[in-house]
Structure 1
């Protein structure tokens, strides 16, 4: 009987040890997860607030930072596709490009639509003045895209007072 009582006491002590080990394990896992999240938060590097932004006071007296939120992109596909012919060493060559304009201002869509004929004319003049051989390289296409953006922004600036278009995108670019 005495041996049975000792076995029961040993089992109670071993259960306590197991329970303590499980609790310690859970606490260590929690600390590890918390430390990892804190380290990731520090590594992500929240942008520091400038001295000018720190001085701005909100209505309730709290300091606010004014982060400008980007509006969603709006795409305007220009129709019809641009088709330009080139004379390369006595042979007739063609370029067909479908273009979409990207803006973030809904009111700019009306301006783009109103002046679409002017924009298409400007792009056709720009495209027809290009060297066919250069347009066959990725660099040449990118340069044409940037020149197209500049031309469209210039024309819209003249007509409306604001450039409105943020990007010019070639959605199809076929040369033959």
Structure 2
């Protein structure tokens, strides 16, 4: 059982089948788009890196001249501070965890020698606060700044330098 197929007529010269011509056109357009995108990305990268290298040379000298800032060191004060208040005839409590941020480990270690005095000063400061004011963000921030100033004052008095940059609350509970 052989199939009888009529031989297809030979293609005319200069005329291509419709499917192959469209495929070549699509491929040509895709390649041209990819080439254009690649050139634009390359040109952008070249121009931006050229601009950065000029800035690096100019700004490298001032950066090298500036003093290198040491990494921050965090020293938690444990255990947490718990103080009580008498607010409008009711007994109220506050629990605060404080962490000190400094840049000199030796100075922080030297401050640990004075920890009983530091904790006493902070307990007195915390217990003298107005309970209603502590419930507001402004009151909390004011208390944080007062704690920072108290610790810096103690450091200045005992060690001759402020020792810490700031005190941070890691836990703050009012009840």
TM-score of the two chains, using structure 1 as the length reference: 0.69
Rate the CA distance shift 1:22–1:162 in 2: closer, same or farther, 3 A. same
Once the two structures are TM-superposed, the CA of residue 30 in structure 1 deviates from its matched residue by 2.3
Partner of 2:127: 128
| Rounded Cα–Cα distance in structure 1 between residues aligned with 2:127 and 2:25 | 84
Partner of 2:6: none
Once the two structures are TM-superposed, the CA of residue 38 in structure 1 deviates from its matched residue by 7.2
| Rounded Cα–Cα distance in structure 1 between residues aligned with 2:35 and 2:67 | 41
Match of 2:33 among 13, 25, 33: 25
Once the two structures are TM-superposed, the CA of residue 16 in structure 1 deviates from its matched residue by 8.9
| Rounded Cα–Cα distance in structure 2 between residues aligned with 1:92 and 1:38 | 69
Residues 1:145 and 2:147 aligned together: no
SS at match of 2:148: helix
Residues 1:87 and 2:95 aligned together: no
| Rounded Cα–Cα distance in structure 2 between residues aligned with 1:98 and 1:140 | 16
| Rounded Cα–Cα distance in structure 2 between residues aligned with 1:142 and 1:37 | 46
Residues 1:65 and 2:63 aligned together: yes
Once the two structures are TM-superposed, the CA of residue 6 in structure 1 deviates from its matched residue by 4.8
Report how many residues are paired: 161
Once the two structures are TM-superposed, the CA of residue 169 in structure 1 deviates from its matched residue by 1.4
Q: Which of structures 1 and 2 has the bigger CA Rg? A: 2
Partner of 1:115: 114
Rate the CA distance shift 1:36–1:4 in 2: closer, same or farther, 3 A. same
Residues 1:167 and 2:166 aligned together: yes
TM-score of the two chains, using structure 2 as the length reference: 0.69
Q: Where does 1:29-48 land on structure 2 (aligned, <5 Å)?
A: 29-34=37-42
SS at match of 1:83: strand
Once the two structures are TM-superposed, the CA of residue 171 in structure 1 deviates from its matched residue by 1.4
| Rounded Cα–Cα distance in structure 2 between residues aligned with 1:115 and 1:20 | 79
Mark the runs of 5 or more structure 1 residues left unpaired by the alignment.
Answer: 55-61
Mark the runs of 5 or more structure 2 residues left unpaired by the alignment.
Answer: 1-9
| Rounded Cα–Cα distance in structure 2 between residues aligned with 1:63 and 1:138 | 42
